[in-house]
Amino acid sequence: MIKGRIVGTGSTTPKRILTNKELETIVDTTDEWITRRTGIKERRISSDGRGENTSDMATMASLRALEMAGISAETLDMIVVGTVTPDRQFPSVACFVQKALKASKAVAFDVSAGCSGFLYSLSVACNAIATGSCKNALVIGVERLSSVTNWEDRSTCVLLGDGAGAVVVTPTADRDGILSTHLGCDGNFWNLLYSSDGGSKIPEILDTVEGKPFHLKMEGSRLFKKAVSSLTNIAEAALKHHSLSSADVKLMIPHQANLRIIKAVAEKLSIPMDRVYTNIQKYGNTSSATIPIALDEANREGLLRAGDNVLLVTFGAGLTWGASVVNWSF
């Protein structure tokens, strides 16, 4: 059976670091509260004019992934981007990346699935590879959440950050590769996390808060409970599908929304925290980008070896969730 295999990873984050201490001067919060309730110490924020737009970051992460893979952009058949913060409503971020990379053979499109955008995109690419309609795919998770953040809402602005990660996926008939992806969704809970304006129903309201747009609305504590149960259930389903136990997981790379959520899920799955990758301390929640950034960092830190089982698991707006078991290839 043909399936996808990851042969290169790449990531990038903006230069500007926004620390918890700086946030103390913007909203009524403290470094102590943010660290204790979320695990976040700092996050990266894109600056205009520095090549840090969503599509710029997506392109940079992709170049790094392609370089690692030793694959030229001209050989790509597909570019799929998971994002909820595209440069523009249209065209897609993927089209800008296709242009920047000169990937003239590739079809390109975005997938909107909240923080689960990367795993949803990976699933689309893997299915295309399995059917033979695509050989080389580039899968990206990227967000510029700072562009939709209400900097007067302390319950959300302390959580979010910007960044991008990418993987190159090619076909394999061997044992390694992306063994499966498992996705879920429940639109009944859309109102736990949503964008308040900027769509066709409510076009962007520029004067909502003193001339500044604000879009992201979140009901944190209800989302917290949903996140723990959805992440745990989909991770268990993915492991069961392959008759794997938590002992078979070399590294779990979860969506980085809150360290307390990650610890609760790890405990429920009986995976000790020394086999759970976290970088939320440095980047906060970068939505679709958290998993590919973490995967790239773990890979470049030498934490992954050929044959290791890596469990990717995510949750986000929609509500959406997903998990994937990857038998690492290199």
Residue nearer to ligand ACO on the CB measure, 98 or 149:
149
275 sits near ligand ACO (criterion: CB under 6 A): no
* Residue 33 makes contact with ligand ACO by CB under 6 A: yes
Smallest gap from residue 248 Cβ to ligand ACO (A): 27
Please tell me which residue in 255, 279, 299, 327 is annotated as part of the active site. 255
Of 115, 249, 312, 323, the residue at the interface with ligand ACO (CB under 6 A) is: 115
Q: Considering only residues 20, 38, 46, 59, which one is a binding residue for ligand ACO as defined by CB under 6 A?
A: 38
Closest separation in Å from C-beta 17 to ligand ACO: 18
Q: Which residue's C-beta sits nearest to ligand ACO?
A: 220
**Catalytic (active site) residue 285:** yes
Is 215 catalytic? The answer is no
Query: What is the spatial distance between Cα 73 and Cα 98, in angstroms, rounded to a whole number?
Result: 9
- Identify whether 279 is a catalytic site residue: no
Among 91, 135, 220, 275, indicate the residue that binds ligand ACO (CB under 6 A). Answer: 220
Q: Which two tokens stand for residue 87?
A: 């440069």
Binding mask 223-242 for ligand ACO (x = CB under 6 A): xx--x---------------
Instruction: Note whether 257 binds ligand ACO by CB under 6 A.
Output: yes
Sign of the Cα pseudo-torsion (69, 73, 74, 80, in order): positive
Based on CB atoms, which residue is closest to ligand ACO, 34 or 129? Answer: 34
Q: Is the Cβ of residue 77 or residue 153 nearer to ligand ACO in the bound state? A: 153
- Nearest approach in angstroms of CB 220 to ligand ACO is 3
What is the footprint of ligand ACO within residues 180-209 (CB under 6 A)? Answer: 193
Which value, in Å, is the radius of gyration of the alpha carbons in the chain? Answer: 19
Query: In terms of DSSP bridges, do strands 251-254 and 309-316 run parallel, antiparallel, or are they unpaired?
Result: parallel
Given the residues 95, 115, 126, 134, the one annotated as active site: 115
Sign, Cα dihedral of 184, 189, 193, 196: positive
How many residues line the site for ligand ACO (CB under 6 A)?
Answer: 22
* Residue window 285-324: x/- pattern of binding to ligand ACO, with contact defined by CB under 6 A: x-x---------------------------xx--------
Considering only residues 155-174, where is the footprint of ligand ACO by CB under 6 A?
A: 155, 158
Catalytic residues: 115, 255, 285
Residues of the shown chain interacting with ligand ACO in the complex, contacts defined by CB under 6 A: 29, 33-34, 37-38, 115, 154-155, 158, 193, 220-221, 223-224, 227, 257-258, 261, 285, 287, 315-316
